[in-house]
């Protein structure tokens, strides 16, 4: 017996003024995804237009002469002074990333092993801290590690030191500040990766005679590497472009890319040069993310990425 | 279209037309009764509102619409973006910012005849593109309880006993005024700044930190980090001295002085802009504003606040910065400062 091969055709004419034609219904249904995507499309369009404006500005194409030039890029890359600022920014961002990983992994691991209630509690604290005002957090840090801060007062009172220890107004202070400001991103990234681990694997390892250290070193740590790498990328990029932390904790002795862009663009009103520096940082960031994706794709099996 | 659909359609059209008429009518009305002022925010805005904006609105019925800036240099990108259709009428700025903006054709010339109070402003403070609004002077501050000795002269900042103890403004602070001061102290000036940079390099061992704005500089003193602030505004010292009686302000000769200014941007309310500027430069507004903001009025008939008179040196000690010259070289000075004085 044959199944009906066709859907009954619609009536040739409308039966009443209120009846909507089938094509209008189909048009509406087909158009809904585009309609819902409209805000995202507008946002992406605005970002692309802004990016194009930045590129044009960096090439000097919006200036009095109007013709593009690579002079700003040549100045940013060719001048040892500006290269030095890039290098310092990369160094401090790298140290920040390393310390965020060192201090953030134990917190993420503890959250992974803790009961759900404890995990939620720690997560709430992390979220509340990360949503608090960044400037206020840095001021709190100044009150803690400053010359007359809490730590120095304790050290002096205990007699462990004879004079205040200088922890601020140096690269050390800036790194401390950036670690404090960005460690939450590392913790959340590693925690997310640990959550996806197959919990039977540590048990299997134990059954095969591995102790806890061996299980951690050969099972848990490698499988959590995608999270570590993702957290490292986030922290590195945020730290590299940091402005507020070096401004507040560096006392002018530490200048990073963010400070340079502000100084050139706002204080010295050399917008094309500031735009060129911004484009260099953006290009570097994109390259870093592309490299991260490559590493995760190529060694996904080895690190257990899914 | 059915009757019901037609009714709904008509209601929507009428509502939309009403909304357009309301907005359009209001906009038309507002354009004739307002002046758009771009000025600084924060506590400064409070002084401006209380002593100038609100009395002006009350007296003239002209509404003052505000646009805010953190620094006057930040306004320049806004003016650039609005070059073809400016919306701002009056701008408060530093002279260097005003000169830079004027060179780019972003400002309207100020017809002095239309502002009667310019007759009471010193001629050196009246320019084609800006008029002095109030006067400022700088000195240095120190914490008497923590400084190793009593400081009296600019050269005391270079004393070896202050090693690592002095907060120093960076080049971008107030259009490189500290560099100008160093040039004067070393026998140079705004056209010959090499002696100034040589002197600043000698100051490096004493620098405990740099700052780009007054609040940042005061933070060093108030947090007990550094006992000396090498360059500070007199007006900023007075309220802080009440909180800490150990703070001292010294304005040795030469006392670097400057003004903040009014300029006219090419907005659509030029006539109201002139009225606003004339009102703000009047004796009453000048005295009231100077009292709250702790500055010296530009209008010579307006009396300076008693708190400023107590710490101000004689006016013959004042030396005004050649802002026009500085505006041509400031970027080069900042680059040189970054490499020779503040290099990391």
Q: What is the pLDDT of residue A5?
A: 47
A269, A273, A274, A277: best to mutate for the B interface, most B CBs within 10 A: A269
Rounded Cα distance between B177 and B322, Å, is 10
In chain B, DSSP finds a helix count (H) and a strand count (E) of 13, 12
Select the more confidently predicted residue: B13 or A45: A45
> Scanning every residue of chain B, which has its alpha carbon at the shortest distance from the alpha carbon of A249?
B209
Answer whether B334 touches A (CB < 8 Å): yes
Answer whether B3 touches A (CB < 8 Å): no
Answer whether B200 touches A (CB < 8 Å): no
Q: What token pair was written down for A51?
A: 């990016």
Three-class SS state of B342: coil
Contact A269, B100 (CB under 8 A): yes
Whether the pLDDT of residue A295 is over 90: the answer is no
Per-residue pLDDT reduced to its tens digit, A137-161: 888 888 898 888 899 999 999 999 8
CB B73 to CB A269 under 8 A? yes
Tell me the H-state helices in chain A: 22-58, 71-78, 80-113, 116-131, 134-145, 150-158, 171-195, 200-207, 212-215, 221-223, 225-240, 244-249, 257-262, 271-298, 300-303
Rounded Cα distance between A144 and B236, Å, is 26
CA distance A31 to chain B (A): 23
Three-class SS state of B150: coil
What single string gives the DSSP state of each residue in B276-303? HHHHHTSHHHHHHHHHHHT-EESBTTSP
* Closest Cβ opposite residue B211 in set A146, A252, A267: A252
Q: Which residues of B touch A247 (CB under 8 A)?
A: 212
User: Residues A98-125: what's their mean pLDDT?
Assistant: 94
Residue A89, φ and ψ in degrees, nearest 5: -60, -45
Residue B258, φ and ψ in degrees, nearest 5: -155, -175
Q: What is the pLDDT of residue B29?
A: 46
Residue A278 buriedness (CB in 10 A; 0-12 / 13-18 / 19+): buried
User: Residues A150-173: what's their mean pLDDT?
Assistant: 90
Answer whether A147 touches B (CB < 8 Å): yes
> Scanning every residue of chain A, which has its alpha carbon at the shortest distance from the alpha carbon of B223?
A148
> How many Cβ atoms from other residues are within 10 Å of residue A161's Cβ?
12
Rounded Cα distance between B116 and B263, Å, is 16
Q: What is the pLDDT of residue A20?
A: 61
Answer whether B209 touches A (CB < 8 Å): yes
Cα–Cα distance list, A38 to A25, A32, A51, A52, A222 (Å)? 20, 10, 20, 21, 41
B161 contacts: CB under 8 Å, gap ≥ 6: B148, B149
Q: Which residues of A touch B219 (CB under 8 A)?
A: 142
Answer whether B208 touches A (CB < 8 Å): yes
Tokens 């709250």 -> residue:
B292
Cα–Cα distance list, B335 to A176, A267, A268, B185 (Å)? 29, 12, 9, 21
> How many Cβ atoms from other residues are within 10 Å of residue A292's Cβ?
17
- The most distant pair of C-alpha atoms in chain B lies apart, rounded to whole Å, by 93
Rounded Cα distance between B260 and B52, Å, is 15
Check whether the bond before B254 is cis (ω within 30° of 0).
Answer: yes
Three-class SS state of A188: helix
Strand partners, B145: none
Per-residue pLDDT 10s for chain B (344 aa) are 556 666 676 667 666 666 665 555 445 444 458 999 999 988 889 999 999 999 999 999 999 999 999 878 888 889 988 999 999 999 999 998 899 899 999 999 999 888 999 999 988 889 998 999 999 999 999 999 999 999 999 999 999 999 999 999 999 888 899 999 999 999 999 999 999 999 999 999 999 999 988 888 998 999 889 999 999 998 889 889 998 999 999 999 999 999 999 999 999 999 999 999 999 999 999 999 999 988 999 999 999 999 888 899 988 899 999 988 998 998 899 999 999 999 87
Residue A13, φ and ψ in degrees, nearest 5: -125, 155
> Scanning every residue of chain A, which has its alpha carbon at the shortest distance from the alpha carbon of B2?
A17
Per-residue pLDDT reduced to its tens digit, A5-18: 455 555 555 555 55
* Closest Cβ opposite residue A268 in set B209, B219, B331: B331
CA distance A62 to chain B (A): 11
Tokens 């009954």 -> residue:
A8
Rounded Cα distance between B265 and B89, Å, is 5
Q: Which residues of A touch B170 (CB under 8 A)?
A: 252
Cα–Cα distance list, A161 to A173, B114, B208 (Å)? 19, 68, 21
Residue A79, φ and ψ in degrees, nearest 5: -85, 125
Q: Which residues of A touch B344 (CB under 8 A)?
A: 84, 88, 253-255
- In which residue ranges of chain A is CATH 1.10.3720.10 found? 71-303
**Count of pairs with CB atoms under 8 A, one residue in A, one in B:** 64
Rounded Cα distance between A211 and B112, Å, is 88
CB A255 to CB B224 under 8 A? no
The ipTM estimated for the assembled molecules is 0.76
Cα–Cα distance list, B63 to A198, B272, B275 (Å)? 67, 9, 12
Three-class SS state of B66: strand
Whether the pLDDT of residue A297 is over 60: the answer is yes
Answer whether A150 touches B (CB < 8 Å): no
Residue B90 buriedness (CB in 10 A; 0-12 / 13-18 / 19+): buried
Strand partners, B39: B68
* Closest Cβ opposite residue B338 in set A81, A142, A143: A81
Select the more confidently predicted residue: A188 or A19: A188
B162 contacts: CB under 8 Å, gap ≥ 6: B147, B148, B156, B206, B228
Q: What is the DSSP letter of B189?
A: B
Rounded Cα distance between A43 and A46, Å, is 5
* Closest Cβ opposite residue A271 in set B77, B210, B220: B77
Rounded Cα distance between B109 and A176, Å, is 51
Length, in residues, of chain A: 306
pTM for the whole structure: 0.79
Answer whether A88 touches B (CB < 8 Å): yes
Q: What is the mean pLDDT of chain A?
A: 86
Cα–Cα distance list, A179 to A130, A254, A258 (Å)? 12, 16, 17
Q: What is the pLDDT of residue B315?
A: 84
Residue B296 buriedness (CB in 10 A; 0-12 / 13-18 / 19+): buried
Q: What is the pLDDT of residue B180?
A: 96
Q: What is the pLDDT of residue B13?
A: 66
Spatial CA neighbour of B208 closest among B149, B168, B252, B157: B168
CB B342 to CB A252 under 8 A? yes
CB B223 to CB A146 under 8 A? yes
User: Residues A197-219: what's their mean pLDDT?
Assistant: 87
> Scanning every residue of chain A, which has its alpha carbon at the shortest distance from the alpha carbon of B224?
A148
CA distance B302 to chain A (A): 33
Return the H-helix or E-strand segment holding B67. Answer: strand B63-69
- Helices A134-145 and A150-158: angle between axes, nearest 10 degrees: 10
Among A19-28, A130-139, B132-141, name the one with the lowest average pLDDT: A19-28
CA distance A264 to chain B (A): 9
Question: Burial letters for B98-114: b for 16+ Cβ neighbours within 10 Å, e otherwise?
Answer: bbbbbeeebbbebeeee
Answer whether B165 touches A (CB < 8 Å): no
Q: What is the pLDDT of residue A4?
A: 46
Contact B259, B298 (CB under 8 A): yes
Rounded Cα distance between A24 and B267, Å, is 49
Q: What token pair was written down for B187?
A: 């026998």
CATH of domain A71-303: 1.10.3720.10
């Amino acid at each position: 017996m044959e199944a009906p091969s066709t859907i009954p055709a619609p009536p040739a004419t409308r039966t009443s003024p209120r009846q909507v034609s089938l094509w209008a219904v189909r048009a509406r249904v087909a158009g809904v995804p585009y309609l819902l995507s409209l805000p995202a499309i507008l946002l992406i369009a605005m970002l692309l237009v802004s990016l194009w404006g930045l590129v044009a500005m960096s090439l000097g194409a919006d200036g009095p002469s109007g013709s593009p030039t690579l002079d700003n890029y040549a100045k940013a890359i060719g001048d040892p002074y500006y290269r030095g600022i890039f290098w310092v920014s990369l160094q401090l961002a790298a140290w920040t990333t390393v310390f965020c990983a060192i201090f953030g992994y134990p917190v993420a691991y503890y959250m992974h092993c803790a009961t759900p209630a404890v995990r939620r509690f720690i997560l709430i604290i992390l979220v509340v801290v990360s949503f608090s005002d960044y400037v206020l957090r840095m001021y709190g840090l100044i009150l803690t590690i400053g010359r007359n801060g809490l730590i120095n007062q304790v050290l002096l009172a205990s007699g462990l030191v004879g004079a205040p220890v200088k922890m601020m107004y140096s690269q050390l202070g800036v790194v401390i500040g950036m670690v404090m400001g960005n460690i939450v991103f590392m913790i959340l990234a590693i925690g997310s990766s640990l959550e996806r681990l197959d919990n039977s694997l540590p048990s299997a390892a134990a059954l095969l005679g591995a102790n806890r250290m061996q299980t951690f070193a050969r099972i848990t740590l490698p499988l959590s590497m995608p999270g570590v790498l993702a957290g490292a990328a986030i922290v590195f990029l945020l730290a590299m472009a940091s402005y507020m932390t070096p401004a507040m904790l560096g006392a002018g002795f530490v200048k990073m890319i963010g400070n340079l862009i502000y100084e050139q663009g706002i204080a010295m009103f050399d917008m094309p040069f500031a735009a060129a520096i911004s484009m260099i940082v953006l290009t570097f960031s994109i390259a870093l993310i592309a490299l991260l994706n490559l590493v995760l794709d190529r060694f996904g099996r080895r690190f257990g990425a899914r | 279209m059915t009757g019901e659909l037609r009714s709904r359609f008509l209601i929507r059209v009428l509502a939309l037309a009403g909304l357009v008429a309301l907005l359009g009518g209001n906009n038309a009305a507002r354009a004739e009764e307002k002046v758009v002022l771009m000025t600084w925010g924060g506590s400064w805005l409070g002084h401006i509102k209380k002593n100038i904006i609100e009395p002006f609105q009350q007296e003239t019925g002209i509404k003052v619409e505000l646009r805010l800036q953190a620094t006057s240099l930040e306004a320049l990108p806004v003016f650039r973006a609005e070059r073809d259709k400016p919306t701002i009428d009056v701008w408060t700025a530093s002279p260097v910012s005003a000169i830079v903006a004027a060179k780019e054709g972003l400002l309207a010339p100020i017809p002095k005849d239309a502002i009667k109070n310019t007759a009471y402003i010193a001629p050196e403070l009246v320019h084609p593109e800006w008029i002095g609004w109030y006067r400022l002077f700088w000195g240095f501050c120190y914490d008497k309880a923590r400084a190793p000795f009593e400081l009296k002269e600019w050269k005391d900042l270079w004393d070896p006993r202050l090693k690592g103890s002095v907060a120093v403004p960076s080049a971008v602070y107030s259009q490189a005024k500290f560099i100008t001061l160093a040039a004067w102290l070393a026998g140079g000036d705004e056209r010959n700044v090499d002696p100034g940079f040589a002197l600043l390099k000698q100051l490096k061992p004493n620098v405990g930190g740099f700052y780009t704005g007054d609040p940042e500089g005061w933070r060093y003193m108030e947090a007990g980090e550094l006992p000396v602030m090498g360059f500070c505004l007199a007006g900023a010292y007075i309220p802080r001295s009440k909180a800490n009686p150990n703070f001292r302000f010294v304005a040795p000769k030469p006392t670097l002085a400057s003004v903040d200014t009014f300029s006219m941007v090419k907005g659509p309310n030029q006539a109201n802009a002139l009225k606003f500027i004339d009102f703000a430069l009047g004796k009453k507004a000048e005295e009231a504003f100077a009292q709250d903001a702790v500055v010296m009025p530009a209008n010579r008939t307006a009396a300076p606040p008693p708190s400023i008179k107590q710490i101000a040196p004689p006016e013959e000690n004042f030396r005004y910065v050649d802002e026009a010259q500085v505006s041509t070289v400031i970027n080069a000075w900042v680059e040189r400062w970054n490499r020779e004085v503040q290099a990391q």
